Structures are given as C-alpha cells and as structure tokens.
Amino acid sequence: MIRYLYNMDETDLKEQQREYDFTSILNHPENYSEEELREFFSRPENKTDYRLYRLAQMTANREYTASPDVDRAWNMFKRNTISSVKSSEKKTRWHVWGAALAGAAAVCVGLLIYHYAFLTSIVREPSLVAMEYDERPQVVVLESEGEQLHSFVRKDSISFFSPSETDKAPVIDKKVKMRTLSTPRGVDFKVTLPDGTDVWLNAESSLQFPTAFTKDSRKVILTGEAYFKVAHNKECPFVVETDKMKVRVLGTEFNFRNYASEKTQVSLIDGSISILPSSNSDSDIILKPGQGACVEEDGHIRVLQEVDTYGITQWVNGYFYFQNQPLIEILQDLARWYNVGVVFENSACANDKMHFSALRSASLAQAVDNLNCLQKVRIALEDNKLIVR
C-alpha cells in the first residue's frame, strides 16, 4: 500500500485528495464553515462537484419535508364544506322547483294564447252550409188548390189515368182543377197523369197538374226532379214548365232537374223536345237523344252536346250514380235522400269532382264509409249533419 502511494504522481494524489474532501463535505457539510465551502467550490476543478452538492441538498430537503395528512384534510373538508351544502340544500331545491313552476306556467300561458288564437281563427272562418236538416213530417202529400186531399205513407205510386176516359171529349176549362203532388226527402213516387203520361218524382219534388187535360193543352209545372215518359199525342203537345225553362214534347222520354240550389237541366233520352224561347232567345232549341240543355246564371240556355243519360237516370232504378261531379252536389243528393244537413268546414273541397255510386236502399253510414274510402275528404255524421273536414 505504501509502495503504491509512493508510486502515485502528483496529479493522482491531488485527485484522491479532492475526492476525500468532497466526500467529507457531502456526508458531513455541518463540519465546514460557509467560507470553507465557498473556497472549496470556487476552485475550477470543483465546479462539477458543486452541482452535485446542490442536487444532494435539494434531495435531502425533499426527503425531510413533512408529507401532507390526507385524512386530516378530508375531515376538515367535510366539516367546513359538506355541512354548508346540507344547510343550503333546501334553499337550492326551492330555487329549482320555483324555476320549474315558473317555466311550466309560462308554457301553459303560451299554449292558452295559441289555443285561443287557433280556435278564434277557426270560428272566424265561415263554414259552408250546403243543406239544412228538414224537421217536417216526411210524407207524400196530394193537394188540390191549397187543400190537402191525401197523404201517402206506405205507397209509392198513384194513377189518375182511366183508359175509358180517353175516348170521351175533353173537358171544358172551367171544370179543371189543379192538383199538386209533393214528395218529401227520402221518398220517390210515381204518378200516372190523366193522359197516361208516367212521371217519376224524385225526393223533395213537386208536380202540379190538372184533374184533366183540355183539348189543346197538357201543361204541368215542376219543382225538383222528375223523369217523364210522355204519352204520344200529336194534336196536343205536352209542356213542362219551371221557373227557368219550358220544354215542349209530343211523345218522348227525358229527365228534368230543377232544384233551387242547382242549375236547371233537361236531358233527352228518347224522341225529341224543343226548348221554348226565353227572354234572351228568339227561337226554339231542338234537342236530339243524348243531348241536354241547362240554364246559366245569366238566364242564357246552353246546349250540352253529350250528356251521360245512363248516370242521370239511375236514380229511377234505385241507385246513386255520379260521374265526375262536384262533391257538394253529391252530398246534396245524399242529404235530400237521407234527410240530413250538409256542412263544409273545409269549403275548399266543395267543388272537387269525383266518381261515386251506391244503392239508395243502403244506409247513410254505408254511403259515408264508401265516400271516405275514396280518401279524398273526411266526412262524419254528427247531429243529423254530414260534416266535411
């Protein structure tokens, strides 16, 4: 060992001495004054040792720093915080409920205002009343000059024709009295006139005719709708008169429709008819089978070159038949037959055209269901009214 020390050069000896000194300082810094430490680390060769010394000091300080007491801190937090939360919990809950109630009240008020405005707009929009319910007794009545002669409850026809009377001379005018046969809603009725002419009256119609026709006149007055099968007599034309149109025939078949809410229309099935001059026409209008004529709003008579004679006459055979006709006319016919009112809450669809057919012997509920199946409108039966929505 001694030999080893003697063989060390001066540099090795200084390095060993520096290590010994640095080790002593590092392990026991309390044995050195600040001046000694400053003098030792001011040497150039000891600058690296100073960095190690400062790192060792910071490490020692971190090791001896007291660790935080987590449990104690948590207990303090519970005492100081959670208790205050509990004391304010009720206040917070009341604030939440108050805000919720205020919001609900605002929503309710808004809904009430909207509901009132919406209903008001509906009420202000006028409904279209196309037909009223008729509360009068629904019976067929025969009158003579304002006096009721008979009412028919379970009878669907009457005849005033007597074949034996046809060979007799016509009666004079002073012995002729006028009779009126009226049908209510829901009833059609057949009458045979004194000359043998057959007339089928549709529902809510009336026909005025004489007790006997004179030698030069066979005139009747129609309100509503009727199908005529006129007995031929070339010496005495048959005249049907309405408030808007007059037609003259010798012997033929035709349908005449003259309801107050609709255009007056005549449709020729067989034979020929002439429409007598009106205030705005100078000559007769001659119709051929399959043609028709209607009266426009200005009173002008317009010829219809092609009419659906099959559909027009189906009511005589016990059917409703409508081909490309406005909904309002379809429902008016149903109301006339079943005696109900018609109200369009959705008036925009009143003139929508559609095809519809049904048995007149079927119930109104069946007819309404069939119409609703078309999925064009929604119709409901409420309080003797057909409501279109």
**Quick check: is 276 in a domain?**
yes
Residue 225: pLDDT band by 50, 70, 90 thresholds?
very high
| Residue 248 forms part of a structural domain | yes
Residues 83 and 48 in one domain: no
- 112 shares its domain with 157: no
Q: Give the chain's mean pLDDT.
A: 80
Confidence (pLDDT) at 109:
55
Q: How many other C-beta atoms can be found within 10 angstroms of the C-beta atom of residue 302?
A: 12
Give yes or no: residues 157 and 202 share one domain. yes
Query: Does residue 52 lie within any of the structural domains?
Result: yes
Q: Note whether 31 and 165 are same-domain residues.
A: no
Do 120 and 160 belong together in one domain? no
Same domain, yes or no: 163 and 307:
yes
Number of domains in the chain: 3
Mind listing the pLDDT tens digit for each residue in 201-215? 999 999 999 999 988
Neighbour order of strands in the sheet with 379-382:
128-131, 341-344, 385-388, 379-382
Inform me whether the pLDDT recorded for 12 exceeds 60: no
pLDDT given for residue 251 in this prediction: 87
pLDDT value for 322:
95
141: in domain: no
Residue 52 has pLDDT above 70, yes or no: no
The range of the structural domain enclosing residue 54 comes to 2-63
pLDDT at 16 over 80: no
Give exposure, 337-351, as e/b (b: 16+ Cβ within 10 Å).
bbbbbbbbeebebbe
Q: Is the distance from CB of 22 to CB of 46 less than 8 angstroms?
A: yes
* 236 and 305 fall within a common domain: yes
pLDDT at 188: 96
What is the model's pLDDT at position 22? Answer: 65
Q: What is the mean pLDDT of residues 23-28?
A: 70
Q: Is 260 helix (H, G, I), strand (E, B) or coil?
A: coil
Domain end call among 63, 79, 113: 63
Using pLDDT thresholds of 50, 70 and 90, give the confidence band for residue 124: very low
Residues 185 and 84 in one domain: no
Question: Which of the listed residues 63, 88, 108 is the one where a domain comes to its end?
Answer: 63
pLDDT at 133: 92
Phi, psi of 58 (to 5 degrees): -65, -35
DSSP-derived 3-state class of residue 385: strand
| 66: three-class secondary structure by DSSP | coil
- pTM score over 0.85: no
CA distance 142 to 149: 6
pLDDT greater than 60 at residue 143 = yes
Question: Higher-confidence residue: 164 or 202?
Answer: 202
Domain membership flag for residue 373: no
Is residue 70 exposed (0-12), middle (13-18) or buried (19+ Cβ within 10 Å)? exposed
- What is the mean pLDDT of the segment spanning 122-134? 76
What's the average model confidence in pLDDT over 21-49? 72
Residue 89 or residue 159, greater confidence: 159
The radius of gyration computed from the CA coordinates of the chain, to the nearest angstrom, equals 56
- Specify whether 79 is located in the same domain as 200: no
The answer to whether position 343 is within a domain reads: no
Average pLDDT over residues 226-246: 94
103 and 211 co-located in one domain: no
Which single residue is written with the structure tokens 């040792």?
49
In this structure, what CATH number is given to the domain that contains residue 188?
Answer: 2.60.120.1440
Write out pLDDT tens, residues 288-305.
999 999 999 888 899 999
Q: What is the pLDDT of residue 292?
A: 96
CA 114/CA 99 separation, integer angstroms:
23
Model pLDDT for residues 332-372, shown as the tens digit of each residue? 999 999 999 999 998 899 999 999 999 999 999 999 999 99
Residue 353 lies in a domain: no
Strands 147-152 vs 379-382: parallel, antiparallel or unpaired: unpaired
pLDDT digits (tens, 9 = 90+) for 59-98: 555 444 455 554 665 566 556 655 554 555 555 555 555 5
